Amino acid sequence: MSRLASLRALSFLVTCAGLSLSAGPAASAGDYNPVLSVGDKAPAWKNLPGIDGKKHSLDDLKDKDIVILCFTCNSCDVATEYEDRIIEFAKKYADQKSKVAFVAVNVNKIPEDNLAAMKKRADAKKFPFAYLYDDTQKIAKDYGATFTPEFFIINKDRKIAYMGGFDDQSSAALVKKRYLEDALKQIQQGKPPATKETVAIGCMIRYERERRKK
């Protein structure tokens, strides 16, 4: 096993252990996701504030055949390393005329990840997609998200069609497998993705620990 694979596996196991404690036992779980399996109904987000000053819900995207959901943040070096690739991907596949929507959500509750900081970051990088904030962290727990960045493709039936990483390397120069892009193309062709689930590469989401009642 390579050093990268070892680190990813260790990070995944540690994160899933923490998420399982906070989110409770999972009714359904994938190979790498502690909560959801591919084919499960996609949890809906409702009235999440965005950097545009508006509230956003999954139901707002009824005219889109495919929704790509990305959990990300400002404070993770890996997430920021992926930003240029994510921006390029969203411009290519999810412009306003496309039947694909791209939505990013941040749930970390530290100053550098608050809504004001998100807006500043998005303005500087000119994000071409909605960037939302959930201070309850509920939507990330509902999706079993553990890393930033981590991606989910939601199909026309609003079921999970792919979940996991953007590609196989945090360094753009070393990428050999483009998991998200390949999965999207196959779904658009009416085919199930050849690779439906992978382990995401990134920083662990900063979930708040739930205090036990005495």
pLDDT tens series, the chain, 214 aa:
333 333 344 344 444 434 433 333 344 588 999 999 999 999 999 999 999 999 999 999 999 999 999 999 999 999 999 999 999 999 999 998 999 999 999 999 999 999 999 999 999 999 999 999 999 999 999 999 999 999 999 999 999 999 999 999 999 999 999 999 999 999 999 999 999 999 999 999 999 987 665 5
Q: In CATH, what number does 3-204 get?
A: 3.40.30.10
Contacts within 8 Å (CB) and 24+ apart, 115-121: 115/49, 115/51, 117/74, 118/51, 118/74, 119/51, 121/74
Instruction: Determine the distance from the C-alpha atom of residue 97 to the mean position of all C-alpha atoms in its chain, rounded to a whole number.
Output: 22
Instruction: Determine the distance from the C-alpha atom of residue 108 to the mean position of all C-alpha atoms in its chain, rounded to a whole number.
Output: 13
- How far, in Å, are 42, 121, 130 from residue 124 at the CA level? 31, 5, 14
Who's near 93: CB < 8 A, 6+ residues apart? 68, 100, 102, 181, 184
Q: What is the spatial distance between Cα 160 and Cα 148, in angstroms, rounded to a whole number?
A: 18
Given the DSSP bridges, would you call strands 100-106 and 130-133 parallel, antiparallel or unpaired? Answer: parallel
pLDDT at 96: 87
